[in-house]
Structure formats: structure tokens, C-alpha cells
Amino acid sequence: IAGITQAPTSQILAAGRRMTLRCTQDMRHNAMYWYRQDLGLGLRLIHYSNTAGTTGKGEVPDGYSVSRANTDDFPLTLASAVPSQTSVYFCASSPTGSNYGYTFGSGTRLTVV
Amino acid sequence: KNQVEQSPQSLIILEGKNCTLQCNYTVSPFSNLRWYKQDTGRGPVSLTIMTFSENTKSNGRYTATLDADTKQSSLHITASQLSDSASYICVVSDLNNAGNMLTFGGGTRLMVKP
């Protein structure tokens, strides 16, 4: 593993089903983030975690939950998927501090039908 | 509400030519401004990060400028290559939520043709 690994790379999901998107980093970054990217819109923050054991809500948190049991993993769960959650999801991480760049994963393309 | 506007939305240029992408923002209080390159099907990759006191920063053929007074930034690409075809995203961080609340622009999609 080098950087951030997201899984799966793509998924088609029936509405109402539960789904967990996985994100693992090997850089020992304290902060991790989940974004969604929709056509024509900038990336929007769903949830974030400044350090293991803590999480916070971003701009569009409804319908999503996260956990941060350790430094490396930051899974995103959709409890009951809806078609409006069709999007590309990116996980990112950064060292603590505002002037560090974010490292992004390659994304998960999710289609809810 | 914090906003980041980028122009143009899309751009086609010939290989070897230069181009300049624009970013205007209304994020306050300002912390830093970042430019990212996103290849199709991939996550964004950082090109530059500039703080309030920095006017220009280069990364190879990419040069970013920042005018904090007018709240404008530009990304200049010199001697474009086919591999420069990508979306370029301007991102601004505000001081209150530094590290947690980035505002992303919608991106400029650049296509470099041979």
C-alpha cells in the first residue's frame, strides 16, 4: 500500500441497501476526510476526522456515517442508500495543520438504482 | 457563504501552447489557496499551496499566482503537453476551519490536442 487505498472502485447498489466504502492510508496522517464529487459541482465534504477516535460533520453529512477506530482506517457507511447518493466518493488524508496538502484516493464510483 | 469560481469551465489548446486558468474566491478569513490536477478517473493531486504572503509559486511547468487583495489566483501552464489534459481545481481554505473546511471550485477541464 502506498498512499490511500479505497475499495471498491465501483459499485451498483439497490436503493435501501446498506453499503460501506473502505478507506485505508499508510502515511500515518492524523486527519482524514470523505468527499463526494458530482458533475458540475466542486468536491463537497461529507465527514472528517482530525484524529483517531474523533469525527465531525461536513457540508453534506445526511445519510452517511463514519468511524475512526484507528489512524489508518476511515470507513464511510450509507445506512439505506438513495438514488441521490449516486456520486464519486473520494477519501483524503493530511497531516495536522492547515498548510499541508491533502492526499486523495482514486475514488469509488457508486450508482444507486 | 464561501465560494470559489473558476474560469473557463473548459479549454482546448494545441500541444506546446501556454494557457492560464483563473480562480476567484470569496473565502474569509483566508488561510491558503491550493491548485489540484485531477486526471479522469483519478483523485486530485496537489500542484501548489500558497499562503497569504506568497504571490507566486512554481511546480515545473505550472506557475500559480495569488493576489490576496483582489482574491484572485491564476494557474499558468507553459509549453503544454498531452499529459496536461485533466481538470484543474482551485481550493481555498479558511482560517476558522483550517484543515477541515476547504471550499472547492468546480474545476476547469483542459484538453491538449496534438
Is B104:B74 a contact under the CB 8 Å cutoff?
A: no
For chain B, the average pLDDT equals 92
- For residue A105, which residues of chain B lie inside 8 Å, CB to CB? 43
Average pLDDT over residues B12-32: 94
Average pLDDT over residues B21-46: 92
Reading the block at residue A21, the C-alpha cell is 466504502
- For residue B107, which residues of chain A lie inside 8 Å, CB to CB? 42
Give A12's DSSP letter: E
Of A83, A39, A37, nearest to A60 (Cα)?
Answer: A37
Per-residue pLDDT of chain A in tens (113 residues, 90 and over written 9): 569 999 999 999 999 999 999 999 999 999 999 999 998 788 999 999 989 999 999 989 999 999 999 999 999 999 999 999 999 999 999 987 656 788 999 999 999 99
pLDDT at residue B99, as a whole number:
45
Sign of CA dihedral A28, A32, A34, A37: negative
Q: Backbone phi, then psi, for B83, in 5-degree steps?
A: -70, -10
Average pLDDT over residues B46-62: 93
Average pLDDT over residues B66-83: 96
Shortest distance between the Cα of A48 and any Cα of chain B, in A, equals 7
Q: Show Cβ contacts of residue A88 under 8 Å, excluding neighbours closer than 6 positions.
A: A36, A37, A38, A107, A108, A109, A110
Report B:83-102 residues touching A (Cβ under 8 A). Answer: 89, 93, 95, 98-102
Of B42, B102, B106, Cβ closest to residue A41: B106
pLDDT at residue A99, as a whole number:
66
Q: Which amino acid is at A50?
A: N
Q: Show Cβ contacts of residue A10 under 8 Å, excluding neighbours closer than 6 positions.
A: A108, A109, A110, A111
Q: Supply the DSSP string of A32-92, one letter for each residue.
A: EEEEEE-TTS--EEEEEESSTT--EE-SS-TTEEE--SSSSB--EEESS--GGG-EEEEEE
Is A95:A31 a contact under the CB 8 Å cutoff?
A: yes
Average pLDDT over residues B35-62: 93
Average pLDDT over residues B18-24: 98
A104/B32 Cβ within 8 A = no
Report A:69-88 residues touching B (Cβ under 8 A). Answer: none
The nearest alpha carbon in chain A to B99 belongs to A98
Q: Which residue has the cell 499562503?
A: B51
Query: Count of A–B CB contacts within 8 Å?
Result: 63
pLDDT at residue B78, as a whole number:
98
